[in-house]
Structure 1
Amino acid sequence: MDRPSFENIHGSVKTAQASSHLFEGAKLSFTKGLSETFQISHNFEFGNPSLYMFNATFVDLLPGTQSPRTILIGNMDTTQSFLARVIRNFGNLTTTAIFQQYTRQSQSQLVTQLEADYQGSDHYVSLKVGDPDIVNESGAWFFSYLQSFTRKFSLGGALRYEYSNGLEDAVTTVGGSYKNDDHWQANATFEGRITGLSNFNLSYLKKIHRTTNFFLDFEGQFFGESKVTGGYEANFQHATVRSQVNTAGEVYTFIERKLAPGISFKFGGSLDHKSNEQRYGFGFFIGGP
């Protein structure tokens, strides 16, 4: 339950949810380390449509340590989409450049995102610039700040500003987190626009056993629909089980089973009781962590 950046303040609860890991169809992933610093992976997705993705990762370590200095990540798939990510660490400062090209309706589009994250002894600052275009005066900017006042309590806020085709949109978010050691954690964020408050998210994570976490996640709109999700995450020696249900009548379950060192099997499914829609997925993952 480490305290994250402000934008990931609900991260511990989201990670515990089965819906965050669920995929549809069949998957096969093979990861191979070619050296201590370079690895490749082949990922196959069988469904409608089927997809193949190739990924390569290079990690340059600081001399005499296991801490990464530079990370290069690239992947491409059969939809003619390409993504490159360059991460550079300067002590407490981490910079990231992301370049993504994807094809929609036979038209290619390049998206660029630049990020800078600084983690101090009691605060976390993050700045992101998405697809900046000075000529056409468009782009998105995101700034967040999280301040720890004590070892358990932190408050912060974020500002997202977008400008495109003469239209502007600004969203402000404030929130906080209280962490009672490794026993439980409560988080809250409130989002507002110029017109007033819009969305909120309240989350709670409780360790009820050394292997099991229970969570509640309440999110919605102040003057609209809302949803409460409850569930658990159980971590055993060779398996992880996640299950949840929400007030919208949706049930999710996701199971990850380690079959042997470096080999795991994942299976998950969901059921929407209102629409009777069902989704299932399973896959084998070979290599990697």
Structure 2
Amino acid sequence: MTTPQPANPFFPPGVPAPPNTGNEQLGPGAPSPFIHEEKPLYPLRAQESHASSFFAFAEPILGPFGRVLDKIAEKRRALDLPFPGTAEHLQKETKQTLLSNFFYDGARADMVKTLSVNPIFQVTHAFSMGATSAQGPVPPSYNFGAVYGSDKVFMQAGLDDSMSVTMRANGRLARGHISKVQAQLAAQEGASFVQLEHDYQGLDHAANIKALNPSPTDGAGIYVANYIQSLTRNFALGVETIYQRQSADAQESMMGYLAKWTSNSRDAIATAQWQAQGMLGCTYWQRLSDRVEAAADLQVITAAGKREAQATVGAKYDFRMSTFRAQIDSSGKIASQLETRLAQAFAFTVGGEIDHLRSQAKFGLGISLESSPSEMMMDPNSPPPPPPSVPM
């Protein structure tokens, strides 16, 4: 059994996928200029922002048609179907538990200055050195970033030492509707990109459309649309279609299918993704106790004559001031990482990975220094202001 190369399951080899967080455009070990949604640098406040229908924001001006939409929405609410989540975050719980999205090698240092909590306003300095990749050592890097977030708008930008500029902006247009744009300008050929995206979240369904490097002249680019719907209180199905156009003579489309099962107590989730070109991804997540979670992931690739698969199991332990993650996969890799907060403004991370089959090892070390707004430091006993619910 061989290890499949990490790739977006919806795209054939060599085709860049629309980035979810911007991390796909960076080399291993480099600090991400985009927010890590599974591990944000600032507190997020959950808020119900699901629309009763796609045109709910326009119902007051739709007249009789708006009343029809109201009755359809009432019928849907009577079914009492839960929100299934988005297709992009189908495996969110598994990704938050496994170490794959959190582990790094080399040394990192982050300095975060919080200028305001509501609205969120932060500046960050991120340093990285000693990291390695499949191509060899990664040179040291520095990234300066800024974040602004309110209930309606989220903006983030970064500038690294190679003069690569990245940006991300989200806007909540109406209840259940969020538009997004991501972009990067870099000197390296093929590294620059722009992505336009719109999210819609209903009471029991979600839809998303996105375009990567769209060209208004010849229609070139990659276009993605997906939809997921709860069928019962425990089961949801979805579909995703991708259209890629490089020129008038080079275009391709493909379909993908999604399935999600959730237990009655919401402490266990199983997902499956199947792509017509021969890629299957399955995950299972379970909360064992208030502080312990376990997850398993299986990736199978049978495309282009390949027969590859990889299985990963891991667990996460949450303590009062720290989090410990450990995992093992079918390729013989064992990894673990400890994140601990030694003081209110100081966090320390240490992790390691051993590849028994290749007799290789990696080690990562990181520190994070944070500072609070001056008004909070003047009165440390006062409760912090509630953070906004940024449109993510």
TM-score norm. by structure 1 comes to: 0.89
Deviation of 1:109 (Å): 5.4
What is the percent sequence identity of the aligned residues? Answer: 24
Structure 1 residue 153, shift from structure 2 partner: 1.6
Question: Which of 3, 9, 13 is equivalent to 2:94?
Answer: 13
* Worse overlay, 119-128 or 261-270: 261-270
Which has more radius of gyration? 2
Q: Structure 2 residue aligned with 1:112, among 171, 187, 194?
A: 194
What is residue 34 of structure 1 aligned with on the other side?
115
Which residue, 216, 226, 241 being the options, matches 1:159? 241
How far is 1:35 from its partner? 2.6
Choose from 31, 38, 44 the match for 2:127: 44
Provide the aligned length of Structure 1 versus Structure 2. Answer: 275
1:184 counterpart letter in structure 2: A
Q: Secondary structure at the match of 2:187?
A: strand
Runs of 5+ consecutive residues of structure 1 not aligned to the other structure? 62-67
How does 1:62-77 map onto structure 2 within 5 Å?
68-77=151-160
Q: Which of 352, 360, 365 matches 1:277?
A: 360
Q: Which amino acid aligns with 1:204?
A: Y
Once residues 274 and 190 of structure 2 are traced to their aligned partners in structure 1, the CA distance between those partners, rounded to angstroms, is: 36
**CA gap 1:138/1:267 in 2 versus in 1, 3 angstroms:** same
- Which letter does structure 2 place at the counterpart of 1:285? S
| Residue correspondence of structure 1 range 127-138 to structure 2 within 5 A | 127-138=209-220
Q: TM-score normalized by structure 2? A: 0.67
> Structure 1's 185 and 56: CA in aligned 2 closer, same or farther, altered over 3 A?
same
Structure 1 CA distance, aligned partners of 2:252 and 2:350?
40
Q: Does 1:236 align with 2:319?
A: yes
Q: Relative to total residues, which structure has the larger strand share, 1 or 2?
A: 1
CA distance in 2, matches of 1:167, 1:133: 14
Instruction: Render the CA deviation track for 1:230-281: whole Å, top value 9, x for unaligned.
Output: 1111111111111111111111112111111232111112122221222211
Q: CA RMSD in A?
A: 1.9
Q: Give the equivalent residue in structure 2 for 1:205.
A: 285
Distance 1:92 1:132 in 2: 25
Query: Does residue 246 of structure 1 match 2:326?
Result: no
- 2:206 maps to which of 124, 132, 137: 124
Counterpart in 1 of 2:178?
94
Corresponding residue for 1:65? none
SS at match of 1:55: strand
Moved more, 27-36 or 158-167: 158-167
Aligned match for 2:254, one of 143, 161, 171: 171
* Structure holding more helix per residue: 2
Higher relative contact order (CA 8 A, sep 6+): 2
Structure 2 gap ranges (5+) = 1-82, 131-137, 372-386, 388-392
**1:22 matched to which residue of 2?**
103
Give the Å deviation of 1:8: 2.1
